[in-house]
Structure 1
Amino acid sequence: MINAMARSNYEPPDDAAELFARIKRAHDTLRELRGPLQEMAVREMREGGATVGDLARLTGYDPEKYRLMARAAGVERRRPPTRGQVSDSSD
């Protein structure tokens, strides 16, 4: 029985190999930039007045990525959360 995870003899045609190589380079670049992005995003939210929306617009990432970074780094919220608030049922 052949292991399902075993490497095949597949060799992509030139056009596929070029696309796959470009994708791998892009992923490698994003991995290299992960740390510097987090440091810069936190700095800009703390000191530069950037919002999660600003950073999302500038980078193309989802705002949630920056919300998580901000919370993990203890960046003060600019406004109260709009979801998940516990309402007072005694009203």
Structure 2
Amino acid sequence: MARSSYQPPDDAAELFARIKAAHDTLRELGPQLHAMAIREMRSNATVGDLARLTGYQPEKFRLWARAEGVERRRPPTNTRQDT
């Protein structure tokens, strides 16, 4: 893919650089977040606690917990059975 000659104005370039830095930081911290979330859910934290503290949706932590075999704190609320 060819690179364009676009050069953003200073205010746009600053915002884009800040966004990229934030994404880079999130990518760097992702494995640590995963490990810490699993550890804390095994201790006593709920997916709701972690969602509130991180700003991520509870489903992210719910999926991680199921994949890592973290014991459920309560039965699932969705009892629908697809046939």
* Fold similarity call, TM over 0.5: yes
- Which residue of structure 2 lines up, in the alignment, with residue 89 of structure 1? none
Which residue, out of 38, 44, 55, partners 1:42? 38
Structure 1 gap segments, 5+ residues each: 87-91
1:27 corresponds to which letter in structure 2? Answer: H
Say which structure, 1 or 2, has more relative contact order (CA 8 Å, 6+ apart).
2
Residue equivalent to 2:64? 69
Larger Rg: 1
**Size of the alignment, in residue pairs?**
81
Matches within 5 A, 1:1-91: 5-47=1-43, 49-86=44-81
For the residues of structure 1 that align with 2:66 and 2:9, how far apart are their CA atoms?
46
How far 1:71 sits from its partner (Å)?
A: 0.5
Distance 1:84 1:7, change over 3 A: farther
With structure 2 as the length reference, what TM-score do the two structures score?
0.93
When normalised by structure 1's length, the TM-score is: 0.85
Q: Distance in 1 between matches of 2:27 and 2:65?
A: 19
